[in-house]
Chains A and B, each alone.
Chain A
Amino acid sequence: MSVRLKVNPIACEAHALCVELLPELIRLDDWGYPLIDSEHVPPELMGLAERAVDACPTLALIIEEEPE
C-alpha cells in the first residue's frame, strides 16, 4: 500500500495550516497555495500528515491510499 498526499485544488483556500504542520512535504507557491513536491508520504511522517489533513479548515488536504 502506498500513501499519497493530495490537495483538492477547488476546495483549497490557501489557509496554509498544512505548511505549518508539515513543512517536510509541503511548501507555498508565490500565491500562498500549497505545493506538494512529492506526494509519497514516508511512514515516519504519517502522524504529521494525518494531523495536517485534520487541521485543514476546508478539508482540501487528502491522504489517498493506493494499492502498489
Chain B
Amino acid sequence: MMPAWLEGHPGLPRLLAGLDTSGRAMTLAEHQRVHGDLPHRSPHELIEAIERSGLRGRGGADFPTARKLRTLASARRVSALVVNGSETEPASAKDRLLLTRLPHLVLDGAVLAADAVGAPEVVVQMGAGAGGSPASLEAALAARPKDPVPVSLVAAPEGYVAGEESAVMHYLNGGPPLPTFVPPRPFQKGYHRLPTLIQNPETLAQVALVARFGERWYRELGTSADPGSALVTISGAVADPGVYELAFGTPMSALLDAAGGTTEPLRALLVGGYFGTWVDASEAMGLRLAREDLRSVGCSLGAGVLIALGRSACGLHESARVIDYLARQSAGQCGPCTYGLRAIADSVTAVADGVAHGQERRRIERWCQEVKGRGACHHPDGATRFILSALDVFSQEIAEHREHHCRAEPAGLPVGGATVRQAAGQRS
C-alpha cells in the first residue's frame, strides 16, 4: 500500500521503494524484486550515464559525481572506494536509513563505482548513532559473496568533524579521526596514501538506480538544473519527523506536508543542518527544493536536512545551544576554530539570555568574518555561517531579549546523540 505522504508525488519513491513498516533490512531477494538485477555497465558507459543524469554528491558539497569519478578513473592507481556513512550531523538520518534498511542499493552503487574507477576494495564507514547497527549491513555483505570487489565495514568514530573526508582518511590510515591540512585531498592522496574515491551512501544508491534505469529515467523527476530525487531528513515542528524522498523542485510547503504538516505556525526553517542557514518562515515558504532557490537566500541543502522551528520556540536560544555544541565539537587543532567558536558561542548565549552589551552583536559578526576560512577543515566556516544567519533572521528577538526575559519552550534541536526518529517516511 502506498504511504499517505507519497500522495501528490508521482514517480516516487525511488530509493525508498519497497521499504515496509517492519523496520528490518530489505533482503537481497526483496531488493532484486523491487529494482531488478544489476546490469553490467562498462566504466565508460556508467560514467557517461552519471554525467548525463546530472547527479551531484549528497554528502553536502554538491560536487558533480561524474567529474569525481572521471578524476579517479584517470589516476594511475586508486586504493579504494570509501563509503562515508559517518553521518555525524545530529539532525540527519538518511545515510543510516540507507545503510541499515536498504544496504543492497548502496552496495550495488559501491560495486559499480569501484569498478568504474578501478578501486580494488570498498570500505564502508558507518555511523553508530540512532539505531545505526552494523548487523544488517554485515548480513547484506554475507548475502553477496559474488561481488567483484571485497567490501569491508568500519565503525565510524564519534564527533561532528570525524565525518569530514580528510578526517575519515586520517582515521582509516591509523590516525585519530581529525581533519588534516589540505591539500592533499583524498582524490590526490587518501587511504593508504593513494588516490581514493570517497562517496556518500545516498550518492551511491542513486548511482545504482541510474545504472539500472538510465539517465533519461533519472531526469523524469526534478528540475533541469537539479534532476532526480533527494532524501531529506525533516524534523522539528512537524507531525512525523523522519526521512523522506522528494523530487527536486518540490515546494517547501509540500516538503513539510510530507512530514505530516507543521504542528504550529513556524517562525523559521533551518536549511542544511548545523552548517546551514536559518530562513524566515515566510520567506522559506516561497522556496523550492532546488539549488537556485536556496542560493537566492544564501542557503544550500547540505546533506538534506530541514528543521522547522515553531513560533513557541526561541531561535536565539536554539542557535546558542547549537553553536555551543559546534564549539565543543571543534577538533581543537586550529586556534581560530578552538578559541573563536568558543568565544562566539559564549557571546551568542549572552545575547540569547539578554545580558549582552548592546555592541555584542557587532563583535560576534566581526569574529565570524575573521574565523571563517581559518581552519584546516570547514568546521569554522559552517558554524559561522549558521550564526550569521541566526543574527540576521532573529534580529527582532535580539532586541526583545534585552527588554524581556524569554519564556520560550525549548525546541530540542538535537545536539550530540541524534534524536531524529528514523524513516517516518516508511509509515503507511
B337 touches A9 (CB 8 A): yes
CB closest residue in chain B, given A27: B370
Interface residue count on the B side (C-beta < 8 Å): 16
Could you tell me the distance in whole angstroms from the C-beta of B369 to the nearest C-beta in chain A?
10
A8 touches which of B339, B370, B376 (Cβ 8 Å)? B376
- B376 neighbours in A (Cβ, 8 Å): 8-10
Q: How far is the CA of A29 from the CA of B180 in the complex (A)?
A: 22
Q: Which of A10-32 contact B (CB under 8 A)?
A: 10-14, 29-32
Question: Given A9-B374, A9-B375, do A31 and B334 touch, yes or no (CB 8 Å)?
Answer: no
B343 touches A14 (CB 8 A): no
B367 interface residue, CB < 8 Å from A?
yes
- B370 neighbours in A (Cβ, 8 Å): 29-30, 35
CB closest residue in chain A, given B338: A31
Q: Which of B310-353 contact A (CB under 8 A)?
A: 333-337, 339-340, 343
Interface residue count on the A side (C-beta < 8 Å): 14
Question: Given A9-B374, A9-B375, A10-B376, do A31 and B181 touch, yes or no (CB 8 Å)?
Answer: no
Could you tell me the distance in whole angstroms from the C-beta of B331 to the nearest C-beta in chain A?
9
- B343 neighbours in A (Cβ, 8 Å): 30-31
The A-B contact count (CB < 8 A) is 41
A29 touches B340 (CB 8 A): yes
B334 touches A30 (CB 8 A): no
- A32 neighbours in B (Cβ, 8 Å): 335
- A33 neighbours in B (Cβ, 8 Å): 335-336, 339, 374
A10 touches which of B334, B339, B340, B371 (Cβ 8 Å)? B334
Most buried by B among A7, A8, A13, A29: A29
Could you tell me the distance in whole angstroms from the C-beta of B125 to the nearest C-beta in chain A?
22
B335 touches A12 (CB 8 A): yes
CB closest residue in chain A, given B334: A9
Bitwise, A25-60 to B at CB < 8 A (1) or not (0) is 000011111010000000000000000000000000
A30 touches B181 (CB 8 A): no
Q: Which of B124-158 contact A (CB under 8 A)?
A: none
- A9 neighbours in B (Cβ, 8 Å): 181, 333-337, 374-376
Could you tell me the distance in whole angstroms from the C-beta of A12 to the nearest C-beta in chain B?
6
B339 touches A12 (CB 8 A): no
Question: Given A8-B376, A9-B374, A9-B375, do A31 and B180 touch, yes or no (CB 8 Å)?
Answer: no
Could you tell me the distance in whole angstroms from the C-beta of B344 to the nearest C-beta in chain A?
11
- B339 neighbours in A (Cβ, 8 Å): 31, 33
CB closest residue in chain A, given B180: A10
Question: Given A29-B370, A33-B374, do A12 and B334 touch, yes or no (CB 8 Å)?
Answer: yes
- B375 neighbours in A (Cβ, 8 Å): 9
Could you tell me the distance in whole angstroms from the C-beta of A52 to the nearest C-beta in chain B?
17
CB closest residue in chain B, given A14: B335
Could you tell me the distance in whole angstroms from the C-beta of B274 to the nearest C-beta in chain A?
21
CB closest residue in chain B, given A32: B335
Q: Which of B144-190 contact A (CB under 8 A)?
A: 180-181
Q: How far is the CA of A57 from the CA of B333 in the complex (A)?
A: 17
Offer 12 A-B interface pairs, CB within 8 angstroms, sorted by A.
A9-B334, A9-B335, A9-B375, A10-B181, A10-B334, A12-B334, A29-B336, A29-B371, A31-B335, A31-B339, A32-B335, A33-B336
Given A7-B374, A30-B343, 7 more A-B residue pairs with CB atoms under 8 Å apart are A9-B375, A10-B333, A10-B376, A30-B367, A31-B335, A31-B343, A33-B374
The 3 closest A-B pairs by CB, nearest first: A9-B334, A31-B339, A33-B335
